[in-house]
Amino acid sequence: MPVLVLLLLACRPECDGTRRWADIPVASAQPGDLGHQLAADDARGALDQLAAWSDLAEVCVHDVWIEDEVRGAYRVEGSYRLPGERVQISPFADDAWGVTTHELCHAVDHTIGLSDDHAELFPDDEVPDIPGYGGPTRTAEAFARICEDGARDHLRWQTAAACGHPMTDDDPAALARIQESIFPWAPRLAWDDPSLQVAVGAPWRATAGPDWRQGEVAADPDHVVVLWKPAPDGRARGARLTWHDWATGTRVATLDLPCTDPEWCPASLVPGDAGPLLRLDGALRVLGPGTLGEPLPCAASGVVVGDQGWRLPGGGGLERCDLSTGRTSSLEVPVPTYALAQQHVGTAVRSLTLAGGHVALSSADAGLSWRRDDGAWIDHALPWHLGVRAQAPLLGTSLQALLLETNDLDGQRLRYLAALDLETGELLAPTDPCPQVVDLHAGALLAGSGWAVVPEQGALLGSAPSFTPYAIGLEGAPLSDP
Ligand SMILES: [Zn+2]
C-alpha cells in the first residue's frame, strides 16, 4: 500500500537539514549578558550530554538560540520550531538545562518519529489542550515530558523499569523505549551483574534500655557500633557504646564511657579505615569491642586512615596528624580535574571520606579525589545525574559504595546502595535491586574499609563486605519491608 505510506510520511513535516551533534551551534541574542551566558552554558551542557548518550549520527536541529522572548509554544521557557529546526531557550528559564533537554527530545522525536510510531506508549491525557496551539502534537508533548526527566534522572527510570516501583507514574514500557531509542549510551546500573549476589538479612533491633537514646552509629568489619546518649527524661548520665553482631544484632559488648563530666559528655565516632574511633572530651581513642585505647596525641575530627588522622581545616587545604607522634602537617589539595555540571569545583562543598584505604575528598555530588600512598591525587567524576548522596569504600581499592538518591513523584527521596568501579566507571547494583529500595528520609553513609552502613531514623541499611545488605531496626523503630 504505497499510497498509505506516503500519506503517513506527509503527516510529519520534512526536516530541512540535519546536523551532527557536535556541529550544532549554541548562540545567544545578547552574548554579553550574564543570564544569556549562563543559559547558554546550561544548554551546551544538556546538548553535549544528550550527544554522548545518543547513537544518532545526525539530528534535525539547526541551532540552539538563547533569546528573551520565546514564541510559539505554551511552554514559554523554550521551543523547538518548525520549519527551521531552531531550539529556542529563554535566559529566564528556571532550569535551562532541563528545558534544553525537553526541546532536544522533541528534535530527536522529529528525527526518528518515536512518538508517532509508538503513540500508545505516550497517552496525552496530562497534556493540556490549548485551542489554537500550534506546537507539537499532544502525543509528542507527552513523550517529551517523559524524555526530559529521563535524561537527568536516569536512575529513576531504571528503578521504575526494573522494579515497577511507584516512583513514577510513567509506563515502564515507555521508559524502556525512550532509554533504548534516545539514550542508549547513558550510563546505567548493572542490575544483573552475576558477581553481586544479594541476600537480605532479617531485621533486628538494638536497645540500651529506656534511659538511653540512639546517638551515632558506625561499624567495623565485624560489628555495628552504636553510641548512646542519655534520654531527656531518663536516669542515664554520660554516654555508652554497644557492639552488635552484623547479621543477628546480638549485643557482644557494652562500654560506659569515662566522661570527665557525666552531665555533659561530648562523644562522637570518627570513621576510620579499620573501624570507627572515639572522640571523647577532645581526645581520639582506638576502639575495640568493649575496650577503649589510650588517648592518641591527635584530635582528628575527620577520618582516620592507617596511622594518620585527617581533617579539613576551616581555611582550606587538608591537615594530617601522625597518630603516634601528634605531629601535624598541612597539605595543599589540587583542584580536581573533573568538571561540575552546575557549579565550579573550587567553590563546591567538599567533605572528607575514605576511598579504598585512602583519604578522599568528595566535592558536592560531583566527584571524588583521593590521595594515593605516593602522594598523587586521583580524581574521579561521579555520575551526577544519579544524585549521589554519599560515598564510601566498599570492596577493596577499586569499588566505591554509593548511596544513590533520587526523587519520586511525591518528592520522596529514594535511596539505596550501589557500587562504582573506580577504574571502569561501571556502576554495580545488587542482582535484584528491588528488595533494597527503601524510602528513607534522612541520614548519612558511614563506612570503613569493606563495609558501609546507612543509619536512618531508627534504622540501618547495611552492607557487609560481600555486598550483602542487612536491614537493621534500632530502638523500637518500625522497619518497613526492606
Ligand atoms: Zn514540548
Q: How far is the CA of 186 from the centre of ligand 1 (A)?
A: 22
Task: Give me the phi and psi of 275, to 5 degrees please.
Answer: 125, 170
pLDDT for 357 equals 72
Q: Is the pLDDT of residue 43 over 90?
A: yes
pLDDT for 461 equals 47
Cis peptide bond upstream of 83, omega within 30: yes
pLDDT for 380 equals 73
In this prediction, residues 348-371 reach a mean pLDDT of 73
For residue 143 the three cell numbers come to 513523550
Q: How far is the CA of 133 from the centre of ligand 1 (A)?
A: 12
Q: How far is the CA of 145 from the centre of ligand 1 (A)?
A: 7
pLDDT for 85 equals 92
In this prediction, residues 389-398 reach a mean pLDDT of 42
For residue 37 the three cell numbers come to 551566558
Higher pLDDT, 294 or 384: 294
Q: How far is the CA of 413 from the centre of ligand 1 (A)?
A: 27
Which range is least confidently modeled, 3-17, 128-142, 242-256, 402-416? 402-416
pLDDT in tens, 47-86: 988 898 899 999 999 999 999 888 654 557 898 988 889 9
**Cα(447)–Cα(288) distance, rounded to whole angstroms?**
16
Q: Is the pLDDT of residue 169 over 60?
A: yes
**Domains in the chain: boundaries:** 13-186, 205-474
Torsion of CA 367, 373, 374, 376, to 10 degrees: 10
Q: How far is the CA of 142 from the centre of ligand 1 (A)?
A: 8
Report DSSP state, residue 202.
P
In this prediction, residues 393-414 reach a mean pLDDT of 44
Q: Is the pLDDT of residue 458 over 50?
A: no
In this prediction, residues 158-174 reach a mean pLDDT of 64
pLDDT for 157 equals 64
Q: Is the pLDDT of residue 236 over 60?
A: yes
Count the neighbouring beta carbons within 10 Å of the beta carbon of residue 246.
23
Q: How far is the CA of 97 from the centre of ligand 1 (A)?
A: 14
**Cα(462)–Cα(450) distance, rounded to whole angstroms?**
11
Q: How far is the CA of 136 from the centre of ligand 1 (A)?
A: 7
Using a CB cutoff of 5 Å, list residues around ligand 1, an ion.
141, 144
Per-position DSSP letters for 178-198, written without gaps between them: HHHHT-TTS--EETT-TT---
Task: Give me the phi and psi of 88, to 5 degrees please.
Answer: -110, 135
pLDDT for 473 equals 46
Per-residue confidence at 3, pLDDT binned at 50, 70, 90? Answer: very low
In this prediction, residues 208-221 reach a mean pLDDT of 79
pLDDT for 314 equals 80
Kindly tell me the sign of the dihedral angle through the C-alpha atoms of 46, 48, 52, 55: positive
pLDDT for 159 equals 60
Per-residue confidence at 372, pLDDT binned at 50, 70, 90? Answer: confident
Q: How far is the CA of 139 from the centre of ligand 1 (A)?
A: 10
pTM, entire model: 0.58
Q: Is the pLDDT of residue 345 over 60?
A: no
Count the neighbouring beta carbons within 10 Å of the beta carbon of residue 146.
22
pLDDT for 152 equals 56
Q: How far is the CA of 406 from the centre of ligand 1 (A)?
A: 24
Q: How far is the CA of 135 from the centre of ligand 1 (A)?
A: 8
CATH of domain 205-474: 2.120.10
Per-residue confidence at 197, pLDDT binned at 50, 70, 90? Answer: very low
Q: How far is the CA of 360 from the centre of ligand 1 (A)?
A: 42
Per-position DSSP letters for 249-293, written without gaps between them: --EEEEEE---SSTTS--EEEE-BBTB-EEEETTEEEEEETTEEE
Q: How far is the CA of 230 from the centre of ligand 1 (A)?
A: 56
Q: Is the pLDDT of residue 344 over 90?
A: no
In this prediction, residues 458-474 reach a mean pLDDT of 45
Higher pLDDT, 149 or 187: 149
Q: How far is the CA of 347 from the centre of ligand 1 (A)?
A: 34
Q: Is the pLDDT of residue 413 over 70?
A: no
**Closest to 448 measured CA to CA, from 463, 426, 429, 432:** 463
Q: How far is the CA of 40 from the centre of ligand 1 (A)?
A: 19
**Cα(478)–Cα(458) distance, rounded to whole angstroms?**
8
Q: How far is the CA of 144 from the centre of ligand 1 (A)?
A: 6
Q: Is the pLDDT of residue 196 over 50?
A: no
Q: How far is the CA of 443 from the centre of ligand 1 (A)?
A: 37
In this prediction, residues 388-415 reach a mean pLDDT of 45
Q: How far is the CA of 85 from the centre of ligand 1 (A)?
A: 14
Q: How far is the CA of 414 from the centre of ligand 1 (A)?
A: 27
Task: Give me the phi and psi of 461, to 5 degrees please.
Answer: -110, 115
Per-residue confidence at 332, pLDDT binned at 50, 70, 90? Answer: confident
Q: Is the pLDDT of residue 256 over 60?
A: yes
Q: How far is the CA of 131 from the centre of ligand 1 (A)?
A: 16
For residue 345 the three cell numbers come to 569545583
Q: Is the pLDDT of residue 426 over 80?
A: no
**Cα(344)–Cα(228) distance, rounded to whole angstroms?**
39
pLDDT for 63 equals 96
Which range is least confidently modeled, 70-84, 147-161, 291-305? 147-161
pLDDT for 164 equals 57
In three state form, how does the secondary structure of 435-464 look?
HHCEECCCCCCEEECCEEEEEECCEEEEEC
Q: How far is the CA of 428 from the centre of ligand 1 (A)?
A: 34
Percent of the chain whose predicted confidence (pLDDT) is above 70: 61
Per-residue confidence at 414, pLDDT binned at 50, 70, 90? Answer: very low
pLDDT for 397 equals 39
Per-residue confidence at 150, pLDDT binned at 50, 70, 90? Answer: low
For residue 305 the three cell numbers come to 586512615
Per-residue confidence at 222, pLDDT binned at 50, 70, 90? Answer: confident
The answer to whether the CB of 280 falls within 8 A of the CB of 257 is yes
Higher pLDDT, 402 or 124: 124
Residue whose C-alpha cell is 490549548: 130
Q: How far is the CA of 77 from the centre of ligand 1 (A)?
A: 10
Q: How far is the CA of 141 from the centre of ligand 1 (A)?
A: 5
Per-residue confidence at 450, pLDDT binned at 50, 70, 90? Answer: very low
Higher pLDDT, 119 or 425: 119
pLDDT for 429 equals 56
Q: How far is the CA of 326 from the centre of ligand 1 (A)?
A: 61
In order of 78, 155, 169, 329, 390, the CA distances from 160 in angstroms are: 28, 8, 9, 48, 22
The span from the first CA to the last CA of the chain, in angstroms, equals 55
Per-residue confidence at 438, pLDDT binned at 50, 70, 90? Answer: very low
pLDDT for 456 equals 45
pLDDT in tens, 303-319: 888 899 999 888 778 99
pLDDT for 153 equals 58
Q: How far is the CA of 113 from the centre of ligand 1 (A)?
A: 15
* Mean pLDDT for the chain overall: 73
Q: How far is the CA of 52 from the centre of ligand 1 (A)?
A: 22
Count the neighbouring beta carbons within 10 Å of the beta carbon of residue 60.
22
